[in-house]
């Protein structure tokens, strides 16, 4: 006679009943294990079952030795099989920062970073990008994305500015929600009825409002300036500016939210019971779980035990403890045994985690789907990314009908390392945490797009340094090109490593613009950056200026716009500063009328 199916293993039962049944069967050791998230390099397979680990993650650049779809799937599945072999067979949930595509994976589609998508301001495009990202993630067995960032940066000196859709609350909410829905909604015709991939609005709360110089974080001898700093504003302003995207995300079905490193008036968000529990879980009715950021719990107190107890009691449900996860388990176990953390708080946290795991279908489909391999970096996804690039570009200046460029233009000169560099045009969070210059993943560079776009008779001459003196005509004098294109690019960065006090162009970039100006009749400058940069003094040298942000792997989309295949209609998602001493400069302070280009500005062609 067949044994009856346990309720939590029966997909015909409601999620609430399944959660109740499973929770009632769990020991305290198993519950605390579910609240533990560890980085993949810091845990052995046999330890997954021994400590009942609930989640594993890859940090930025956390790829397997074989950075392929198959390599990722095998790695993730090996952790999953270890979890399924435990007494109750509770699957892990594997998470990654797929913030502009599944970009830890070489060959995945790299979409423009959020700042560019803010310029595009297209909710339908956001849904499509979210869904494409989710499908590429699932090809590697990963059902949890630490995105979207719903930060609303108020000071562009912040190194995470490019992760925000813009400085305006309504714009961020308008775009983040369809992206979240795209992540979580299965494509039409899919057999999967559950959440496609779990999205994670972040970082709660006020991460874009920290005061310059308020950060005390030092990593690898780099002192942060804004990242992980202190937000100092009244509660009404905090709520008005930063809370709306979370309210909308909860209404749209978010079941995971990441807490922020930052403080509010000196109190760390990870130990803030009012904002985490009273506001987010109580007032807003958030029924999912709160995940901590990378080792952020450690910053709550110099005493780790105290840090763990205060964070869990404040409302953190799962702790991202990438390295010494066993210390977390010991600390939380002690907290329960000593009565510092109640069993009710543990059960509440685990209930929320299990709800998400059931909602994403992990108990029925825990392993990767090899049939999805072909979607990774597919033609359709790359065309979607190219479309996103086209929509994201903002035309800031266009005199003398410089753009569009005629495809039959006899001589076009191109300069700047960023013109032929996928790593620079993709920015941080691409293959490696900090990103990297060079051909780090397949795609097309801006230069490749230009060379493909022109007529067969046109000449495109590229010199990264802009030294075109060797291009001489029949008279022995340097040739003057019809059009010159200079691509200025920031070096890739992430988080506090991108905090900068001075946003003026480098001396090298200033010299490059001046050098190329001498060799062309018309000069177009394209700026690849994660934020506006000061270029006021150089603007008179330019006939046209294009803000291309961080366009990702499909640089040919830039060429589509330069040569008039599509019209410009992108709009600035951030106020463009005139001088560095204007900072912080945004639509929410009194300085916005002093800008070089206002929020929402953009020329059309």
CATH superfamily of 376-594: Glycoside hydrolase family 3 C-terminal domain (3.40.50.1700)
**Confidence tier at 592 by pLDDT (50, 70, 90):** low
Residue 553 has pLDDT above 90, yes or no: yes
- Model confidence pLDDT, tens digit, residues 210-222: 999 999 999 999 9
Instruction: Answer yes or no: same fold for 202-359 and 376-594.
Output: no
Catalytic residue among 168, 310, 317, 495: 495
Match 């009632």 to its residue by tokens.
Answer: 24
**Confidence tier at 507 by pLDDT (50, 70, 90):** very high
Note the pLDDT of residue 350.
99
Residues in contact with 28: Cβ distance below 8 Å, sequence separation at least 6, in sequence order: 333, 336, 343, 346
Angle made by CA atoms 40, 42, 46, in degrees to the nearest 5: 85
**What 3-state DSSP class applies to 520?**
strand
Label each residue of 408-441 as H, E or C. CCCEEEEECHHHHCHHHHHCCCECECCCCCCCCC
| Alpha-carbon gap, residue 58 to 38, rounded angstroms | 9
In DSSP terms, 99 is beta-bridged to 101
Average of pLDDT values for 431-457?
A: 98
Q: HSE of 119 in the Cβ direction (CA atoms, 13 Å)?
A: 37
Note the pLDDT of residue 292.
98
Helix (H) or strand (E) holding 169, with range, is helix 169-184
Note the pLDDT of residue 351.
98
In DSSP terms, 460 is beta-bridged to 412
Residue 297 has pLDDT above 60, yes or no: yes
In DSSP terms, 263 is beta-bridged to 230, 268
Average of pLDDT values for 544-569?
A: 98
Residue 208 has pLDDT above 60, yes or no: yes
Angle made by CA atoms 368, 370, 375, in degrees to the nearest 5: 105
> How many angstroms separate the Cα of 234 from the Cα of each of 206, 209, 239, 250, 264?
11, 12, 9, 24, 9
Q: Count of H helices and E strands in the chain?
A: 18, 19
Note the pLDDT of residue 544.
98
Residue 476 has pLDDT above 90, yes or no: no
**For residue 369, what are its two tokens?**
């789907």
Residue 252 has pLDDT above 70, yes or no: yes
| Alpha-carbon gap, residue 264 to 257, rounded angstroms | 18
| Alpha-carbon gap, residue 149 to 158, rounded angstroms | 14
Pairing relation of β-strands 218-219 and 222-223? antiparallel
User: Following CA atoms 549, 541, 416, 498 in sequence, which dihedral angle do they give, to the nearest 10 degrees?
Assistant: -40
Active site (annotated) includes residue 509: no
Average of pLDDT values for 288-297?
A: 98
**ω into 317 cis (within 30 of 0):** no
- Model confidence pLDDT, tens digit, residues 132-150: 999 999 999 999 999 999 9
Is the domain spanning 202-359 CATH 3.20.20.140? The answer is no
Average of pLDDT values for 31-52?
A: 98
Residue 593 has pLDDT above 90, yes or no: no
Active site (annotated) includes residue 293: yes
| Residue of 477, 447, 449 whose CA lies nearest to 462 | 447
Lowest mean pLDDT among 363-372, 513-522, 591-600: 591-600
Residue 224 has pLDDT above 70, yes or no: yes
Catalytic residue among 293, 463, 490, 543: 293
pTM recorded for the entire structure = 0.97
**Confidence tier at 4 by pLDDT (50, 70, 90):** confident
Note the pLDDT of residue 7.
98
Percent of the chain with pLDDT over 70: 99
Note the pLDDT of residue 473.
73
Lowest mean pLDDT among 206-210, 342-346, 468-472: 468-472
Report the mean per-residue pLDDT for the chain: 97
Note the pLDDT of residue 133.
98
Region of residue 5 (left: phi > 0; alpha: psi -120 to 50; beta: else): beta
| Alpha-carbon gap, residue 532 to 42, rounded angstroms | 38
Average of pLDDT values for 418-435?
A: 98
What are the b/e assignments for 215-242, b being 16+ CB within 10 Å? bebeeeeeebbbbbbbbbbeeeebbebb
The structural domains of the chain, with segments of one domain joined by +, span 202-359, 376-594
Average of pLDDT values for 582-586?
A: 95
Measure CA 189 to chain center: 28
Note the pLDDT of residue 591.
65
Query: What is the arrangement of strands in the sheet containing 230-231, beginning at the earlier edge strand?
Result: 230-231, 263-264, 267-268
Residue 478 has pLDDT above 90, yes or no: no
- Model confidence pLDDT, tens digit, residues 50-94: 999 999 999 999 999 999 999 999 999 999 999 999 999 999 999
């Amino acid at each position: 006679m067949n044994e009856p199916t346990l309720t939590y293993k029966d997909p015909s039962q409601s999620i609430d009943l399944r959660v109740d049944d499973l929770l009632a069967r769990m020991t305290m050791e198993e519950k605390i294990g579910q609240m533990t998230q560890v980085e993949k390099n810091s845990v052995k397979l046999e330890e997954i079952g021994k400590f009942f680990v609930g989640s594993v993650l890859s940090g930025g650049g956390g790829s397997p030795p074989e950075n392929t779809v198959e390599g990722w799937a095998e790695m993730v599945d090996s952790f999953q099989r270890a979890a399924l072999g435990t007494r109750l067979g509770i699957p892990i949930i594997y998470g990654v920062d797929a913030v502009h595509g599944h970009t830890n994976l070489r060959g995945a589609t790299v979409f423009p970073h959020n700042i560019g998508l803010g310029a595009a301001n297209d909710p339908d495009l956001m849904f499509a990008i979210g869904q494409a990202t989710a499908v590429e993630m699932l090809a590697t067995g990963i059902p949890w994305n630490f995105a979207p960032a719903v930060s609303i940066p108020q000071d562009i000196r912040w190194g995470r500015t490019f992760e925000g859709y813009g400085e305006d609350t309504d714009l961020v909410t308008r775009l983040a929600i369809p992206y979240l829905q795209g992540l979580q909604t299965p494509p039409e015709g899919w057999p999967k009825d559950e959440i496609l991939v779990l999205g994670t609005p972040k970082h709660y709360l006020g991460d874009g409002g920290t005061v310059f110089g308020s950060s005390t974080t030092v990593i690898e001898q780099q002192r942060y300036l804004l990242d992980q700093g202190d937000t100092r504003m009244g509660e009404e302003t905090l709520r008005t500016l930063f809370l709306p995207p979370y309210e909308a995300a909860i209404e749209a079905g978010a079941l995971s939210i990441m807490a922020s490193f930052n403080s509010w008036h000196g109190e760390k968000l990870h130990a803030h019971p009012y904002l985490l529990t009273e506001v987010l879980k109580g007032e807003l009715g958030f029924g999912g779980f709160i995940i901590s950021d990378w080792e952020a719990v450690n910053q709550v107190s110099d005493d780790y035990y105290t840090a763990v107890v205060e964070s869990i009691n404040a409302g953190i449900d799962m702790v991202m403890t990438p390295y010494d996860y066993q210390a977390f388990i010991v600390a939380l176990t002690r907290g329960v045994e000593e009565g510092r953390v109640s069993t009710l708080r543990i059960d509440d946290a685990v209930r929320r985690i299990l709800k998400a795991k059931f909602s994403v279908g992990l108990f029925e489909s825990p392993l990767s789907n090899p049939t999805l391999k072909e979607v990774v970096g597919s033609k359709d996804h790359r065309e979607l990314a190219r479309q996103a690039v086209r929509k994201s570009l903002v035309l800031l200046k266009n005199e003398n009908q410089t753009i569009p460029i005629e495809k039959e233009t006899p001589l076009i000169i191109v300069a700047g390392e960023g013109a032929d560099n996928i790593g620079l045009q993709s920015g941080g969070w691409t293959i490696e945490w900090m990103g990297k210059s060079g051909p780090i993943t397949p795609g097309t560079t801006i230069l490749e797009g230009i060379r493909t776009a022109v007529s067969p008779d046109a000449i495109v001459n590229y010199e990264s340094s802009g030294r075109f003196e060797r291009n001489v005509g029949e008279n022995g004098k340097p040739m003057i090109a019809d059009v010159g294109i200079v691509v200025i690019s920031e070096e890739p960065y992430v988080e506090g490593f991108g905090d900068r006090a001075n946003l003026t162009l480098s001396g090298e970039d200033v010299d490059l613009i001046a050098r190329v100006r001498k060799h062309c009749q018309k000069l177009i400058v394209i700026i690849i950056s994660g934020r506006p940069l000061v270029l006021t003094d150089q603007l008179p040298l330019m006939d046209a200026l294009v803000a291309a942000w961080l366009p990702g792997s499909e640089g040919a989309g830039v060429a589509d716009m330069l040569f008039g295949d599509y019209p410009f209609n992108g709009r600035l998602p951030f106020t463009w500063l005139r001088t560095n001493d204007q900072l912080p400069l945004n639509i929410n302070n009194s300085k916005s009328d002093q800008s070089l280009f206002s929020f929402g500005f953009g020329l059309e062609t």
